[in-house]
Structure 1
């Protein structure tokens, strides 16, 4: 009886994402993992509503009307909370990987952002009515820190 040594599965050529220089991660099997470059096209509220409707459709014995009722209750709750918690989105400059680890509001209205990479960035006028890349300024204030875990002013 002849014993055959097992060999690990390795791709014979580099995966397409790594070979072409496209963004993506490579799994040990050699298949590329795509990293989405665009935000999800739905708001959080819409995703919750979709979840409740799908849950009502697949739940055993639950009529769809129950799912619609749950979705309406969730929407009413989100609208009530929207008075207190406002989500703002800001465009990020090309090449900046923003993994915030700390935020601080400065006395002059600017926002300081510590990122895990070890940098502190200042966002000018975060309360502007129409945040676009043209009228939003990111300035690097400090670098070389070791994973800052917060900011205080």
Structure 2
């Protein structure tokens, strides 16, 4: 069973410098997503992680964002030149600023049209989530030696759901 990790650092040690948050990371929940069942796994493991971490924000929105990032990694992040991973890696982390950091890694270092997506332009699901302010920030960082990337969506807890 995956454990929630308590963190005393300001960020996950493995995160590239561009991904380091100014907020203090309180907990992180790493997730392995078998490629053939990644969408299903993202929904189930995402909901489980959010429950275990007592995320006070919208769980349905957070699970939607996680599954969209995983879906994008499956659709755009897997390529012949990148190899054929059998597992995608994700991470859900909470911060002392009541933020949720959702990270999804894939083997493709490129993110075409990132600036348009981040601006909420276009008809994609990520752009729509940014337009509706479900995602408060979207960033990505290329891994060392250009072997893949991590895409991070930041969500604020907002009003607590009861």
TM over 0.5: no
Q: TM-score range by the shorter chain?
A: under 0.3
Normalized per residue, the structure richer in helix is: 2
Normalized per residue, the structure richer in strand is: 2
Larger relative contact order (CA 8 Å, sep ≥ 6): 2
Query: Under a length normalisation based on structure 2, what TM-score does the superposition of the two structures give?
Result: 0.26
Query: Under a length normalisation based on structure 1, what TM-score does the superposition of the two structures give?
Result: 0.28
